[in-house]
Amino acid sequence: MLNKTMFISKEVNRKFNKEYFFLKGKINIESDYFIEKIKNSCSSDKNLNFKTNVKGLMTPWQFFSNDKKFLDVVKLFVNYIDDNYNNSNYHLDSAWGFEIRPHEKTIYHAHNEAKWCGVIYLNNCEQPLNFPEIKEHIKPETGAFALFSPFLIHGCERNSDNNSKFGISFNMYDTKSW
């Protein structure tokens, strides 16, 4: 007994296996267009620079959510997921751009509230995105992408490259009928 108002009869604290998906590949993307938009947003008053798990420069959460060129890219991912996985209805909730400059990083985290997630890189950089639980990583190259289950922990160590890393991350959420 811990105190007069609480009694714990059992406590379990351990990991268990869970089904997940992880895809990585490459896609043709108009990277200069997206990089310019990210730079402009991150230098404006409306940014999330150093306010999130991205310890670098970041656009607002929904910055690319209505961008036609981005939606054309996401449509390819959605078609693949719909054709190969049994998913309920979902929608693009958020899509943000980032610039991780030399010595900056992304704190390890998960997107547990999402249905599935993705990241697309817009340039080459030596700072990989790591998924330590599943021993996977993605090396940033123009058009490199990963699609993954939202509970997979991921992040980046400090950028030791002399180049900034540019990319767009996004989350798909369940569409509720109520």
Q: What is the arithmetic mean of pLDDT over 23-34?
A: 97
pLDDT at position 65 is 97
Task: Determine if the pTM surpasses 0.75.
Answer: yes
**Average pLDDT over every residue of 139-168:** 97
In tens, the pLDDT along 41-87 reads 999 999 999 999 999 999 999 999 999 999 999 999 999 999 998 77
What the block records as the tokens of 43 is 């230098």
pLDDT band at 130 (very low <50, low <70, confident <90, very high): very high
Identify the structural domains of the chain with CATH numbers, from first to last.
Answer: 29-95+114-174 (2.60.120.620)
Residue 123's pLDDT band (cuts 50, 70, 90): very high
Query: What pLDDT is attached to residue 10?
Result: 86
- Which of 1-10, 20-29, 76-85 shows the lowest mean pLDDT across its residues? 1-10
Q: What is the mean pLDDT of residues 116-121?
A: 98
On the question of pLDDT at 14 being above 90, the answer is: no
Give me the pLDDT at residue 3, please: 56
Choose among 170, 156, 171: nearest CA to 125: 156
Tell me: pLDDT of 129 over 70.
Answer: yes
What is the share, in percent, of the chain residues with pLDDT greater than 70? 97
Res 104: pLDDT: 97
Q: What is the arithmetic mean of pLDDT over 148-159?
A: 97
Average pLDDT over residues 77-100: 92
